Chain A
Amino acid sequence: MNKLIRTLALTLALCCLTAASPLALAGEVIDADLTCSITLGNWPADTAPEAEKALFEGYKATMAKQYPNVTLIPDYYSYTLSNYVPMAKGGTAPSIFQPPFTDPQLLISQNLVGDVTDALEAFGVLDKFSPSYVEMLADENGRIYGLPRDGYVLGMHINIELFREAGLMTEDGLPKYPTTLQELAEYGQIIKEKTGKAGLVFPASETYGGWLFTNIAWNFGCVGESALEYQDEDGRWVCNFTSPECVAAMEYMRDLRWKYDILNADATTTDWASAHSLLGTGEAAMNFAADDSVDQPTAYKGLPVEDFALIPFPAGDAGRYALAGGTCYMFAPNITKDQGIALMAYLKILGKLPFLDDDIIAGMRSDYAAKRDRGASVIPAISAWNDDEYNAAKQAIIDEFSNVDMRLYNDFFDSISEGTITLKSEEPVFAQQLYRELTAVIQRMITREGADVLKALKKAEESFQEYLDDEINDI
């Protein structure tokens, strides 16, 4: 009897093993023939939080299981335009790196990045791109050179503690935040008077000032025919900083300093990181910033998540516009077809492609758990993919790990989903140079009380037009 039971048990076990093995293999190894090496930029440094390092080691292990002959070479490389160009030309750029959305078109036009159209097609995700992202990451022939890592929409970060101190709270205990640029100036003035702290931190150094100013300018009407740069009938790119709308926007900037006096003291030396720092440490009440950087003032600068809110970009007289941008993945110019496939496989494991399986869901959960553990706000993400199923699954995980009162964020996300705010991408050509020119004008306006707005804009316009003629109009 015992022998019979043992025989049956053995037979059953063998059957299970035989039946399960092919399934297990299919789940584990996806392509054993794919053989290549890929260098992965932005690998977490040794000083990164343990949770983050473990996460990436997990991705690496999964990749090793699914593609056993693909060698992953971690690289701590962090992209800047200046360090990337020599590496790309010298053939030493990492296979994958992460530039901001301001740079892809420049890199594509200079043949400094690799084409992954075929690899994307092989993974069946080419048609799931949000069209605006395709536009940012493709050349004129529709070839794709990058993938969105994450998208963002510019809004405003709020330090609720300072709003409370200034008496700017509703009966529900929520901050009474500015919905228009005029209110921004007025509320900022109240905060400055009541708390002695800056109403608004404005990073007006390098290119940051110009970058934020374009948003203000759009809300003053610098869109369409009055856009800051446009292409005329002959196809020539024209700079247009002297439109009445742009002049009005720059006068507004000047007033923020000299009429309302709400800016932080060192605006001309403040950059993106220090702006977050000033808000997070309670030195300023408002900061133009996006949903993808909510961890900066909270997790990194210690502002409790209950004292932080994200609100829509304030409207101007000409409408309500906000920048939609983000960070993308791009690839070295010399990647091979196999490397392209391997890189897509790696991004799939990272959960950056619109696919859902247990590993990806587990990866997302780890990601949001790590975010919550380090004290960052866990909030909905703006998806770069037109895939309802994928987006719904992602939202369910976010809800599970949410650590914030969503009333402090709802208006921001509702303004996007309900279309009460118009999303715009960055100015189409040579945005960084445009920002640099405008930043110089802003610096003049906020450091010289009697500065002539039109004269300064005219000078910047001539300078940028010369640049356009030289670089793109080929005059």
Chain B
Amino acid sequence: MSGQNARTRSRARLAEDLKSWMIMLPGLILMTFFIWEPLLESVRMSLYKTRNIELVRFIGLDNFISVVGKDDFLQALANTFSYTFWSLIIGFALPVLLALLIGETVRGKSFFRTAAYLPNMLPGLAVIILWSSFFSGEKSGVLNILLGRLGIPQQSYLTRYEWVIPIIIIISTWKGAGATALIYMAGMAGVNPELYEAAAIDGATVWQRVFHILLPSIRKLAGTLLILQIISVFQIMYEPMVLTKGGPDNASLSLMQLMWQYAFGGSMNYGKASAVAVIVTLILLVMTAIYSYFNRKESDWD
């Protein structure tokens, strides 16, 4: 009798599972077709000599060796880390600050929230083109006109090696900071108000409340956003591609742009392009693993 019950229960669970699987099936098929298969195909392609998108012959790691041995790869790798570095310097704290300021605003909060998010609603390419007029080194460049009024001579911003990456990060931050700030604001809204009240009763100042209550409360959220930011910035491509075309002299060339150049920049070498893509994926996997490791450790300590 009990055996029959178990079988009935098992059948019911199976039917339940089947329903769940059926619900997931379209998503799984689409993911397999559009994400996993191309991903695995890209790994396979990186191991072959290619003729446009056809695989000619297996060449092992030759594509990787050839790509890594080139100066432009090393330059692109260094640039990509530089993008990440500058994005942390310029772009990591700003959304937190924005969220804090908007959160503390009493009147017109919705206006400031919308205003901060507005750049994110603009198409990415339009933003780049807009800012390219601002940073144009020609006499007609907006920044040159503004600085010219102050008596500062005409400058060429996008042809300076040391300026080009920070400028691109300033533009990306201008576009993306509002959206990230909204996420922080949602996180901050979840902080128990009793903690603030208790701190206020104890005589804590605004900054003490921020540093001792608010920031620790959003630390995990910040950690997650940090790794997402690193992953996103590591794949930066269209910003330098449109603004500087990777120049001057590859000073703003990113790894993803290098990948694009191998595939579509005239050489159609999809094998080497795939090799670059695999390298980028591996680097991001390592970085994510490091983050997860420290995150777990921190949870253990908590």
Contacts and interface: CB of A to CB of B under 8 A. Distances in A.
Interface of A: 80-82, 85-86, 89, 106, 110, 112, 196-198, 204-207, 264-269, 271, 278, 281, 283, 430, 432-433, 435-436, 440, 443-444, 446-448, 459, 463, 466-467, 470-471
A81 B246 CA distance: 19
Interface in B128-182: 132, 136-141, 154, 156, 158-161
Given A81-B268, A264-B138, A266-B137, 19 more contacts: A81-B266, A85-B52, A86-B53, A110-B52, A197-B139, A205-B244, A206-B265, A268-B248, A269-B159, A271-B245, A281-B140, A433-B267, A436-B265, A446-B159, A446-B248, A447-B249, A448-B249, A463-B70, A471-B269
A427 to B, nearest CB: 12
B194 interface: no
A207 B138 contact: no
B66 A440 contact: no
Given A197-B139, A266-B138, A278-B138, A440 B250 contact: yes
Given A85-B52, A197-B139, A269-B158, A447 B266 contact: no
B261 interface: yes
Contacts of A444: 248-249
A467 B267 contact: yes
Contact of B267 (A112, A432, A447, A448): A432
B280 interface: no
A357 B222 CA distance: 73
A267 B52 CA distance: 32
B36 interface: no
B266 A436 contact: yes
B39 to A, nearest CB: 17
A297 to B, nearest CB: 15
A432 B266 contact: yes
A269 B244 contact: yes
B40 to A, nearest CB: 18
Interface string B105-135: 0000000000000000000000000001000
B52 A269 contact: no
Contacts of A198: 138
B132 A269 contact: yes
Nearest to A196: B139
A82 B264 contact: yes
Interface in B19-76: 51-53, 66, 70-72
B169 to A, nearest CB: 17
Contacts of A430: 266-267
Prevailing SS type, chain A contact patch? helix
Contacts of A446: 159, 248
B138 A440 contact: no
B154 A265 contact: yes
A265 B264 contact: no
Interface in B250-298: 250, 260-261, 263-269
A49 to B, nearest CB: 23
Going nearest first, the 7 A-B pairs with the smallest beta carbon separation are A432-B266, A82-B264, A265-B137, A268-B248, A205-B245, A268-B247, A443-B249
* Chain B residues touching A, range: 35 or more
Interface of B: 51-53, 66, 70-72, 132, 136-141, 154, 156, 158-161, 243-250, 260-261, 263-269
B51 A110 contact: yes
B266 A269 contact: no
A85 B158 CA distance: 32
Contacts of A443: 247-250
A269 B243 contact: yes
Contacts of B141: 265
B286 to A, nearest CB: 28
A269 B247 contact: yes
Nearest to B267: A433
Contact of B261 (A436, A448, A459): A436
A267 B70 CA distance: 25
B237 to A, nearest CB: 13
A271 B132 CA distance: 13
A267 B159 contact: yes
Contacts of B260: 82
B185 to A, nearest CB: 36
B250 A269 contact: no
B266 A433 contact: yes
Contact of A283 (B52, B138, B161): B138
A265 B245 CA distance: 16
B158 A268 contact: yes
Nearest to B51: A110
Contacts of A466: 66, 70
A89 B154 CA distance: 49
A283 B53 contact: no
Contacts of B266: 81, 106, 207, 430, 432-433, 435-436
Contact of B268 (A110, A206, A267, A447): A110
A446 B52 CA distance: 34
A198 B141 CA distance: 14
Nearest to A267: B159
Given A81-B268, A432-B265, A436-B265, A447 B137 contact: no
A448 B246 CA distance: 16
B71 A266 contact: no
B157 to A, nearest CB: 8
Select the residue from B70, B161, B264 with max chain A CB neighbours within 10 A.
B264
Contacts of B247: 204-205, 268-269, 443
Contacts of A269: 132, 158-159, 243-245, 247
A206 B261 CA distance: 10
Contact of B161 (A205, A278, A447): A447
Nearest to B266: A432
Contacts of B249: 268, 440, 443-444, 447-448
Nearest to A83: B264
Contacts of B51: 110
A435 B139 CA distance: 28
A313 to B, nearest CB: 24
15 contacts: A85-B53, A85-B268, A106-B268, A206-B265, A265-B141, A265-B159, A268-B158, A268-B244, A268-B247, A436-B265, A436-B266, A447-B160, A448-B249, A463-B71, A471-B269
